[in-house]
Structure 1
Amino acid sequence: MSSLRDKMNRLRGSSSPASPAEEAAAAVQAPEPPPAANTDHLETLSEEWSSMGVKLLHNEAGSFLMRRLVYPAGHQHGIHCLGELPSASAGLRAFHEVPIDAEQLLYLDLETTGLGVGTGNVPFMVGLAYWSGSELIVEQAVIRHPAEERAMLFYLNGKLGGYRYLVSYNGKTFDWPVMQTRFILHGYNRKLWEPLHLDFLHPSRSIWKNTLASLRLSHVEEERLGIERIDDVPGSLAPQLYFQFLADGDPEPLRGVYQHNEIDMLSLVCLSIRFGHLLNGNTEGGYQLPMPAESEELIRTGLWLEKMGHAGRAELMFEAALSCERTAAATLNMLAARDKKAGNWQRAVLLWQKAVIQSVQHGSAGLTASIELAMYYEHKLKDYDSALSYVSEALELALIDPLGRRDAKRRAEIEGLRKRRERLLRKTGRKLAE
Structure 2
Amino acid sequence: MLKNTYIHIPGVGKALEQKIWASGIHTWDEFLEMTDNISIPSSRKTRICDEIKLSSRHLAARDCSFFSQRLPSAEHWRAYSLFSDSAAFFDIETTGLSPARDRITIVGIYNGSESKTYVRGINLDDMVEEFSKYRLLVSFNGARFDIPFIKSEFPEIEFKQLHIDLMYPLRRIGYGGGLKKIEKLLGICRSEETDGMDGFDAVRLWRQYEKGDKEALNLLVKYNREDIVNLKTIIELTYPKMVEKALKA
In structure 2, distance between residues paired with 1:96 and 1:242: 32
| C-alpha contact (below 8 Å) 2:137/2:161 kept by paired residues | yes
User: What residue is the counterpart of 2:222 in the other structure?
Assistant: 259
CA distance in 1, matches of 2:217, 2:77: 37
Q: Give the number of the structure whose alpha-carbon radius of gyration is greater.
A: 1
1:199 equivalent in structure 2? 165
Q: Which residue of the other structure, out of 276, 279, 283, is the alignment partner of 2:239?
A: 276
**Counterpart in the other structure of 1:129:** 110
Matched, 1:114 2:96: yes
C-alpha separation between the residues in 1 aligned to 2:243 and 2:174? 19
Write the deviation string for residues 10-36 of structure 1: whole angstroms up to 9, x where unpaired: xxxxxxxxxxxxxxxxxxxxxxxxxxx
The residue that corresponds to 1:375 in the other structure is none
Root-mean-square deviation (CA), in Å?
A: 2.4
| Structure-2 change in CA distance of 1:174 and 1:182 (3 Å) | same
- The letter for the 2-side match of 1:241 is L
Higher relative contact order (CA 8 A, sep 6+): 2
Identity level (%): 23
Q: Say which of 128, 140, 155 aligns to 1:169.
A: 140
Contact 1:235 1:257 in 2 (8 A): no
Q: For residues 202 and 241 of structure 1, do their structure 2 counterparts lie closer, same or farther at Cα, with a shift above 3 Å needed? A: same
Please report how far the alpha carbon of residue 193 of structure 1 lies from its aligned counterpart in structure 2 after TM superposition. Answer: 3.2
State the match for 2:12 in structure 1.
none
When the two structures are superposed, what TM-score results if normalisation uses the length of structure 2? 0.62
Amino acid at match of 2:179: L
State the number of aligned residues: 173
How far off its partner does 1:204 sit? 2.3
For 2:132, give the aligned amino acid.
Answer: G
Contact 1:108 / 1:265 at 8 angstroms: preserved in 2?
yes
Whole-angstrom CA distance in 2 between matches of 1:228 and 1:252: 18
| 2:36 alignment partner in structure 1 | none
5+ residue gaps, structure 2: 1-70
The 5 Å alignment of 1:142-157 reads: 142-144=119-121, 148=122, 152-153=124-125, 155-157=126-128
Matched residues in 2 for 1:123 and 1:95: separation? 25
Inter-CA distance 96–143: structure 2 relative to 1 (3 Å threshold): closer
Matches of 1:270 and 1:97, distance apart in 2: 17
Contact 2:107 2:127 in 1 (8 A): no
Say whether residues 1:141 and 2:123 are aligned partners. no
Q: For structure 1, list consecutive stretches of 5 or more residues without a partner in the other structure.
A: 1-92, 282-304, 315-434
The answer (yes or no) to whether the contact 1:166–1:197 under 8 Å persists in 2 is: yes
Aligned residue for 2:137, secondary structure, equals strand
> Displacement of 1:241 after TM fit?
1.6
Superimposed CA distance per residue, residues 269-312 of structure 1 (whole angstroms, 9 cap, x where no aligned partner) = 1111023232466xxxxxxxxxxxxxxxxxxxxxxx13xxx12x
1:360-392: CA deviation from partner (whole Å, max 9, x where unpaired) = xxxxxxxxxxxxxxxxxxxxxxxxxxxxxxxxx
- Distance in 1, matches of 2:146 and 2:187, equals 23
Q: CA contact under 8 A between 2:108 and 2:115: conserved in structure 1?
A: yes
SS in structure 2 at match of 1:172: helix
**TM-score for both structures, normalised by structure 1:** 0.37
